[in-house]
Copies of this chain bind each other. A is one copy, B any other.
Amino acid sequence: MERTITVELGPRSYDVRVAPGLLHAVGQVAAQLDAGAAVVISDSNVAPLYGKGVLDCLAEAGISATLIDFPAGEANKNLSTCGRLFDALFAITPAIDRDCLIVALGGGVTGDLAGLVAAAALRGLRWIQCPTSLLADVDASVGGKTGVDHPAGKNLIGAFHQPSSVLIDPDALKTLGPGEFRDGLSECVKHAIIRDAAKLEFLEDNAAEILSHDGEVMTELIAWNVQIKAGVVSADEKEAGERAHLNFGHTIAHAIEAQVGFGRISHGQAVALGMVAACHMAVLRGFIEQDSAQRVEDLLRQFDLPVSWDGLNADGIWDIMQHDKKARGGEVHMVLPVVIGQVAIFDDVTQEVTSDAVEYLGRS
């Protein structure tokens, strides 16, 4: 039941493979890539769970491998953790060379950090991504975005550095906390809304199997999400145009995260609220029916994602949106559904409509 999706990026194309048990294939893939050595980068949560298994299968493939870990948590996604990873990387003996392969083993933070280390070490090492969270499976696993946060904002320092291969093992989700699982589902709902109405139905019809981590359904779920994201990224690698569709729900979500405080609301929860707000705007503008917006809310609720939030300040949200790095020349670009399954970018969203939507999130 393995599924393979090719991310088409010319000479930088690569395959994303999805199958239960795929973490055991890391050694084989590294050998196919002719890696001279491998360095597995993982965090303090994931390393104890899967680190040894991955090191063992690399050793079986005849590849000398080292594990480097860093303290888990979003707060460590910064330049100084990067610096410590470089210290550990360059302390390895014999010294790594350009044949060294980086293996990013973990969730989104690990992928972002390890990817940036791979992008910058010796001016660019090849890397493979082994995401272990649903959010990383369906989002970070495609597109080659790497980066770290800066006190001035998220992901301000980074690189586009495409991996050589991505191996997604849905079995790894069994050790994932319910909050992180839910965050991944938020992105799945997003993908359905921006590209494929039938997938909203898939989510509705398979909600129970999804919530119980059924292997076959999860493989199917992850594969179609990767397919949607790969299609968008292939069309627009450097985020100049179409890739902005993936920001659906995110413009308001980033502002909500900043206002509520990182740590008090998860990214997936904020995206859920952002999607509810954007759907509400789309209803107000007559693009979609109230029924469609309601269907999105019902599905989010089923996945234990929030559809309302107390205490948001509409003026504050608007101000933060003005500072969002994706706002160019002072204009806010907002992605709204024009029908379930299709979105468009609007640069004429007013403070009034935004306030309406934020106030809608405060309904009881």
Contacts and interface: CB of A to CB of B under 8 A. Distances in A.
A99 B328 contact: yes
A150 B84 CA distance: 11
B86 A150 contact: yes
Interface string A58-70: 0000000000000
Interface string A4-37: 0000000000000000000000000000000010
Interface in A77-120: 79-80, 82-83, 86-87, 90-91, 95, 97-99, 116, 119-120
Nearest to A153: B90
B329 A36 contact: yes
A175 B158 CA distance: 36
Contacts of A158: 120, 123
A97 B328 contact: yes
A238 B159 CA distance: 17
Contact of A152 (B91, B99, B146, B157): B91
A87 B152 CA distance: 8
A295 interface: no
A120 B325 contact: no
Contact of A123 (B90, B98, B121, B145): B145
Interface in A140-162: 145-147, 150-153, 155-160
Please list the 9 inter-chain residue pairs (A to B) with the smallest Cβ-Cβ separation, ordered nearest first.
A90-B152, A123-B158, A120-B157, A79-B83, A90-B150, A97-B328, A123-B160, A123-B159, A86-B157
Given A79-B79, A86-B157, 20 more contacts: A36-B328, A79-B82, A79-B86, A80-B83, A90-B150, A90-B152, A95-B152, A95-B153, A95-B323, A97-B327, A98-B328, A99-B328, A116-B120, A121-B157, A122-B325, A123-B146, A123-B147, A123-B160, A124-B160, A124-B238
25 contacts: A79-B79, A79-B82, A86-B156, A86-B157, A90-B153, A91-B152, A95-B153, A95-B325, A97-B325, A97-B328, A99-B328, A120-B120, A120-B158, A120-B159, A121-B156, A121-B157, A122-B156, A122-B325, A123-B147, A123-B155, A123-B158, A123-B159, A123-B160, A124-B159, A159-B159
